A and B are shown apart, each in its own frame.
Chain A
Amino acid sequence: MSNDTLENLFALDEAPAVDPAFRAGVMRAVAQRRFLIELAILACVSVVLLIVLFASGEALAAAAAQMLSSMDMAGLTLVIAGGVAFLGHALVTRAISLPRRVFF
């Protein structure tokens, strides 16, 4: 048997050159993995925030009371609006870029 025949036989066994179904399957799995990673990150961040808030609850309450007494309503509204805008921007622009971080 010649080498050409062997190569021809291997050519019969090739996977399809273009396979949109396979690509879609891979990208669906990638989307699921990305979702799980983002969920895990959010859960970790939430837990850390809760711990920080719990640990510094009294100090924060005292600071808030002091701030409220020295700040009028317009200033308070500006601070809250700024906070909401910052969090919204981080969410919309996906500040956490994937797959740059390796978690597994």
Chain B
Amino acid sequence: MSASLAGSDAAFSRLVDRHQQALRSFLRRVSGNDADADELAQEVFLAAWTKLRLLRSPDMFRSWLFGMAWRMSKTFKRSAARRRARDEAWHELQPQEQVPTNDLRLALNRALSTLSEDQRAAVALCLAGGWTHDEASRALEIPLGTVKSHVSRGRARLEEILGDAHEQ
């Protein structure tokens, strides 16, 4: 961390390696689109590199990074939706090919998309990412009680939808 602060590219690339899986997974669950999430994750790391000196404590890097990702995802979502509509219109004009899909993964994405934005973020961090409620509360800048309620209701909702899908 201190080497990254001193301007070492090698150290920063190690930070990218360490956090990319968790960050991209979080953004994929929040956005529901893998390509958009990966593009945003790259933007988040770039913003982190630029603002690294503003980080008060190196121990807080993970929650600082995810907090920034969460804030950026809110503004990114609007422009991504417009761009995706254009891409989909273009894809409809192209010859179709069979793409193998994972039913369970699709079901999970559909179930997540029924949750509110904040609920999805809390579920993505606490249920999928294994964060504590307190950590999620600090990263998302949402009160602790609200995070607990989002996680509990989000879990119930997911289990209800996925349970129904499983029975069908």
Residue of B nearest to A15 (CB): B24
The interface residues of chain B lying within 8 Å CB-to-CB of A9 are 104-105, 107-108, 162
Write the nearest CB–CB distance from A9 to chain B, whole angstroms: 5
Given contacts A97-B7, A100-B7, contact A26 B16 (CB under 8 A): yes
Given contacts A9-B162, A14-B21, A98-B7, contact A23 B16 (CB under 8 A): yes
Q: Is the CB of A6 within 8 A of B155?
A: yes
The interface residues of chain B lying within 8 Å CB-to-CB of A97 are 6-7
Given contacts A10-B128, A26-B16, A33-B46, contact A1 B166 (CB under 8 A): yes
A40 at the binding interface (Cβ < 8 Å): no
Q: Give how many A-B residue pairs fall within 8 Å (CB-CB).
A: 99
Given contacts A15-B28, A97-B6, contact A10 B108 (CB under 8 A): yes
The interface residues of chain B lying within 8 Å CB-to-CB of A6 are 127, 155, 158-159, 162
The interface residues of chain B lying within 8 Å CB-to-CB of A23 are 13, 16-17, 20
Write the nearest CB–CB distance from A6 to chain B, whole angstroms: 6
The interface residues of chain B lying within 8 Å CB-to-CB of A29 are 42, 45-46
The interface residues of chain B lying within 8 Å CB-to-CB of A22 are 16, 20, 24, 38, 41-42
Q: Give the interface of B toward A (CB within 8 A).
A: 5-7, 9, 12-13, 16-17, 20-21, 24-25, 28-29, 38, 41-42, 45-46, 49-54, 102, 104-105, 107-109, 127-128, 155, 158-159, 162-163, 166
Could you jot down 20 A-B contacts, CB within 8 Å?
A: A1-B162, A5-B162, A6-B162, A9-B108, A9-B162, A10-B128, A13-B29, A13-B109, A15-B28, A15-B38, A23-B16, A23-B20, A29-B45, A30-B9, A30-B12, A30-B45, A98-B7, A99-B50, A100-B5, A102-B50
Apart from A30-B46, A99-B49, 12 more pairs, CB < 8 Å: A12-B102, A13-B109, A13-B128, A15-B24, A15-B38, A22-B38, A26-B13, A26-B16, A30-B12, A99-B5, A102-B50, A102-B51
Q: Give the interface of A toward B (CB within 8 A).
A: 1, 3, 5-7, 9-10, 12-19, 22-23, 25-27, 29-31, 33, 97-104
